[in-house]
Amino acid sequence: MAKHALGSAIVVLLLVAAAYGAFFIAPTDVKQGLIYRILFLHVSSAWAGLTAFFICFVGNLMYVWRRAPQWDWLGTSAAEVGLAFTTVVLVTGPIWAHPVWGIWWTWDARLTSTFVLWLLYVSYLLLRTLVEEPDRRALFSALFGIFAFLDVPLVFGSIRWWRTQHPQPVVMGGPGTGLDPTMWKVLFFSWMAMLALMTLLLLARYKLEAMRGDLDIVRREAEAA
Amino acid sequence: MKNLDSVFAAYLFAWGIFFVYYLSVARRASALRDELKQLKDSLNRGK
């Protein structure tokens, strides 16, 4: 319990430091002014969310291979955490887009593939509520999770392969792209803070799923008694 | 200071979403812990 409180306090401090960096250390963008500071929240949340979906994918693959419930717990926990981060991306994106583009939303490749990703993982979690038997539920959702992850490379590549309203990548975008060194340092720190938050949420969510597993065992014992 | 309100709104929404999600996980964990304890107690009484 004390370890968990310490971990939470460290994550809160990292998030506050990241926000401080975004507001007071990163220089103001010449073209966009203050509004670009959403980048540090929007991009770092997107990267942390995609990392969570990758963990989910690994959990799903491992479940199909090993059939151990712990991999199912990891998969479902990471899917839910990734969904929370992707929700933040889908909320902060339009807040940033409106003053810059003059519109809240457009169905371009990056925005659409991200929205589809969100819908896929909502479906993944809904699917789990429809199957009662634990082993079948775990297998179906693992297979669906592997399919859902196919959208992740599409989200990553969408701004590289097609001309989009969404800006071209600032990281790994090839020649002529990139960030001011101070902006990059603040973005990197924000990403680390978001990864720390993602880890904290994932651990808490995994414990919850493990507790559900224990409850199932005790229930079966109670029914047999 | 143009668009400062939008930047604050983005940060508030994001932190709000994370906080509400964290609370929901903590509440579900607490409810499960209680249910598990009750079940274990009733099993022990039955023995």
Predicted ipTM?
Answer: 0.91
pTM, two decimals, is: 0.94
Does the beta-carbon distance from B21 to A84 stay under 8 Å? yes
The residues, any chain, with a CB within 8 Å of residue A75's CB and separated by 6 or more, are A56, A59, A60, A63, A141, A142, A145
Give the single-character DSSP code of A22.
I
Does the beta-carbon distance from A38 to B32 stay under 8 Å? no
| Contact present, A114 and A89 (Cβ < 8 Å) | yes
* A204 contact B CB<8A: yes
Span A172-198, pLDDT tens digits: 766 666 788 999 999 999 999 999 999
Span A135-156, pLDDT tens digits: 999 999 999 999 999 999 999 9
The residue ranges of chain A whose pLDDT is under 50 are none
At residue A173, the pLDDT reads 67
